[in-house]
């Protein structure tokens, strides 16, 4: 295994990935020297669409395809798109196709006829062999359920000649005995299906027609869902109650249990282990580093199975649809992120310890450790909001309120600063322990802001509505924040040697601008603040009666430095000798007009 230049985890591959596109004959020659089993293992080491290309280049593609786990095949199809995957769908095994149908045809416990019709059309594009696989191998109730959802069937005899609800439906018959009425507009694939079934499996055709007539629809769907649930459970997709256990507190006794042997997680003899959680870019940084130090191939196989099973549990517990590529990838990213966080906690940030943990620990235990670490962060945020929320309403700017709210979601979300103008945030799963520590610092900073406002700025929550009412700006709690308040206190300190947040009038604000900035030597130069102001104000603030910790002192200096920069940005371009449109300035608490 190796680390690429862009830090994407990848297995060592036997030839440059670019050869698949530029020198396919070289790739064919390499694959030809390997057994189908060896080819399957090598192919799974490649990312994304390259797996499909390699299967196609193999001289024994059908044998290789049969050795790929159903989970890998489905991931390949969802990554590339159904229409781009016909080459591998046309050689997929019955089990691989059924796994796809079990995930694609259902939304929870609801059967989706439109999805079934879409996939039957795709099978039609793959050619007759794939039709026949589905026709002769799937349990009978599934075929009946699908056909009942797409057509009505009647027979002209005493018991089945009611012909109800067929108005405006397209009529079709193959033998003059069974009258078929299609419920859907696109009927080409269905007609081909019926013709193929009657010509190759006549007994199944007649049984199916009779079943469509006589089988109760609701009971048929229930039986089909029962068999579908059994199949998906066997592939590691549990029911909701079992899946929710992944979010339960970690039982310490689990840590003493040996991790699974890959043979215990292998569903079919000779089938390769799925590797896409590690290969396709889902593994966060620390997990990558630890995997790179893991030399045991058999343990790597077991890890692949474990990671897929955990992602399946997340998908079910979070009520996400596996057929939706983005939802599927979101659950996989979340599973890998929580595993990464748990691994970082257990390994104390040492990748070598991380590799040893991966060798000896159930991956679900690492997931649960990561989840509990995030719950601790969430509890801290909830306590802060509960105890100080009324005050924080006036201290935190809107963008940071969004960040705080994201921490008390069902699953805490990390924030990323957007690339647009202004402080806008996007939200995603936490990926690393470093991000959690960063948000803990954010919360500690908010706690400090409350104490700073109380003990240094001499404000109480009950003062804030009055203060806003006296100001022309800020005009409401949304535009008020700790930086505005600190900048106001700094302005009053410069002018009156007092620390107070009472708003300045226009005359006082102009005087402050003159006192705050150094005189410009040349017109047009960027204004610089008086060099002594920041240090003097910091010193005065630190003398206020408060139990100052080292972190408090650091937060204080950073807050005042940020407020200095804020004043320079807002006031540096203003001429105190001229007219100032204060309604466009967002620097300090100020009042003008009638309020002045």
Output the tens digit of pLDDT for each of the chain's 596 residues. Answer: 443 433 345 567 888 999 999 999 999 999 999 999 999 999 999 988 999 999 999 999 999 999 999 999 999 999 999 999 999 999 999 899 999 999 999 998 999 999 999 998 898 888 766 767 777 777 889 999 999 999 999 987 767 667 888 889 999 999 989 999 999 998 988 898 899 889 888 999 999 999 999 999 999 999 999 999 999 999 999 999 999 999 999 876 666 677 766 666 555 566 888 999 988 877 788 999 999 898 767 788 889 999 999 999 999 999 999 999 999 999 999 999 999 999 999 999 999 999 999 998 899 999 999 999 999 999 999 999 999 999 999 999 998 999 999 999 999 999 988 766 566 789 999 999 999 999 999 999 999 999 999 999 999 999 999 999 999 999 999 999 999 999 999 999 999 999 999 999 999 999 999 999 998 767 667 889 999 999 999 999 999 999 999 999 999 999 999 999 999 999 999 999 899 999 999 999 999 877 66
What is residue 10's three-state secondary structure? strand
CA distance 253 to 230: 30
Q: What is the largest CA-CA distance in the chain?
A: 107
CA distance 335 to 342: 11
Contacts of 196 (CB under 8 A, 6+ apart): 128, 131, 132, 135
Residues 277, 305 contacting (CB under 8 angstroms): no
Of 325, 330, 360, the C-alpha closest to 338 is 330
What is residue 268's three-state secondary structure? coil
Total residues belonging to the chain? 596
Q: Which pLDDT does position 271 carry in this prediction?
A: 80
What is residue 488's three-state secondary structure? helix
Here the tokens at position 168 are 């405006």
Of 15, 50, 17, 16, the C-alpha closest to 34 is 15
CA distance 436 to 376: 10
- Other beta carbons within 10 angstroms of residue 386's beta carbon come to 9
Distance of CA 455 to the CA centre of its chain: 41
CA distance 22 to 347: 42
For 403-517, where are the E strands, in sequence order? 413-417, 425-429, 504-505
Residues 451, 567 contacting (CB under 8 angstroms): no
Q: In the Cβ-directed half-sphere of 521, how many Cα atoms lie within 13 Å?
A: 0
Distance of CA 339 to the CA centre of its chain: 14
What is residue 456's three-state secondary structure? coil
Residues 446, 475 contacting (CB under 8 angstroms): no
Helices within 246-397 (DSSP H only): 276-279, 285-292, 297-317, 325-347, 351-360, 363-395
Of 151, 132, 138, the C-alpha closest to 198 is 132
Q: Which pLDDT does position 156 carry in this prediction?
A: 79
> Quick one: CA dihedral 152, 156, 159, 165, positive or negative?
positive
Residues 9, 278 contacting (CB under 8 angstroms): yes
CA distance 286 to 63: 36
CA distance 214 to 224: 16
Q: Which pLDDT does position 128 carry in this prediction?
A: 66
Q: Which pLDDT does position 47 carry in this prediction?
A: 87
Q: Which pLDDT does position 8 carry in this prediction?
A: 43
My answer on whether omega of the bond before 474 falls inside 30° of 0, hence cis, is yes
Residue located via tokens 């599934």: 142
């Amino acid at each position: 295994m190796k680390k690429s230049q862009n830090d994407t985890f990848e297995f060592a591959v036997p030839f440059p990935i670019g050869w698949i596109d530029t020198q396919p004959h070289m790739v064919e020659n390499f694959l030809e020297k390997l057994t189908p089993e060896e080819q399957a293992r090598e192919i799974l080491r490649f990312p994304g669409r390259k797996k499909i290309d390699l299967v196609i280049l193999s001289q024994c593609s059908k044998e290789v395809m049969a050795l790929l786990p159903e989970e890998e095949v489905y991931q390949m199809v969802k990554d590339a798109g159904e229409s781009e995957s016909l080459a591998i769908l046309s050689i997929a095994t019955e089990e691989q196709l059924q796994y796809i149908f079990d995930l694609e045809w259902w939304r929870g416990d609801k059967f989706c006829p439109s999805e079934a019709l879409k996939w039957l059309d795709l099978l039609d594009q793959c050619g007759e062999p794939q039709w026949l696989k589905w026709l002769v191998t799937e349990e009978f109730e599934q075929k009946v359920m699908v056909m009942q959802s797409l057509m009505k069937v009647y027979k002209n005899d005493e018991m089945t000649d009611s012909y109800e609800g067929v108005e405006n439906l397209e009529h079709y018959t193959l033998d003059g005995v069974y009258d078929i009425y299609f419920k859907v507009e696109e009927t080409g694939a269905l007609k081909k299906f019926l013709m193929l079934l009657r010509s190759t499996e006549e007994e199944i055709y007649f049984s199916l027609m009779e079943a469509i007539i006589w089988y109760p629809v609701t009971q048929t769907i229930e039986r089909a869902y029962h068999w579908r649930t059994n199949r998906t459970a066997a592939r590691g997709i549990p029911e909701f109650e079992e899946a929710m256990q992944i979010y339960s507190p970690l039982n310490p006794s689990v840590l003493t249990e040996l991790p699974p042997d890959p043979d215990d997680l292998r569903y079919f003899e000779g089938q390769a282990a799925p590797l896409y959680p590690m290969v396709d870019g889902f593994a966060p940084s620390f997990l990558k580093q630890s995997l790179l130090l893991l030399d045991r191939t058999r343990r790597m196989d077991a890890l692949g199975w474990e990671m897929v099973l955990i992602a399946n549990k997340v998908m079910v517990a979070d009520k996400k649809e596996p057929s939706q590529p983005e939802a599927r990838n979101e659950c996989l990213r979340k599973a890998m992120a929580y595993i990464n966080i748990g691994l970082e906690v257990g390994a104390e940030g040492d990748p070598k310890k991380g590799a040893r943990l991966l060798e000896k620990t159930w991956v679900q235990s690492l997931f649960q450790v990561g989840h509990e670490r995030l719950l601790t962060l969430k509890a801290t945020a909830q306590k802060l909001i509960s105890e100080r929320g009324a005050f924080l309403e006036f201290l935190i700017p809107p963008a940071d309120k969004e960040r705080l709210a994201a921490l008390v979601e069902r699953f805490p979300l990390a924030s990323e600063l957007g690339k647009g103008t202004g402080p806008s945030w996007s939200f995603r799963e936490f990926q690393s322990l470093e991000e959690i520590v960063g948000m803990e610092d954010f919360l500690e900073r908010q706690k400090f802001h409350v104490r700073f406002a109380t003990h240094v700025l001499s404000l109480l929550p009950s003062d804030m509505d009055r203060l806003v009412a006296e100001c022309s700006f800020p005009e409401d709690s949304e535009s008020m924040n700790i930086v505005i308040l600190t900048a106001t206190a700094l302005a009053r300190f410069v002018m009156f040697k007092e620390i107070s947040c009472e708003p300045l009038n226009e005359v006082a604000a102009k005087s402050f601008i003159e006192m705050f900035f150094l005189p410009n030597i040349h017109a047009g130069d960027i204004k610089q603040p008086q060099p002594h102001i920041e240090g003097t104000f910091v010193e005065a603030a630190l003398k206020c009666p408060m139990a100052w910790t080292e972190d408090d002192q650091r937060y204080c200096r950073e807050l005042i430095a940020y407020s200095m920069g804020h004043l320079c940005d807002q006031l540096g371009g203003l001429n105190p000798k001229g007219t100032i449109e204060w309604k466009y300035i967002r620097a300090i608490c100020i009042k003008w007009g009638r309020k002045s």
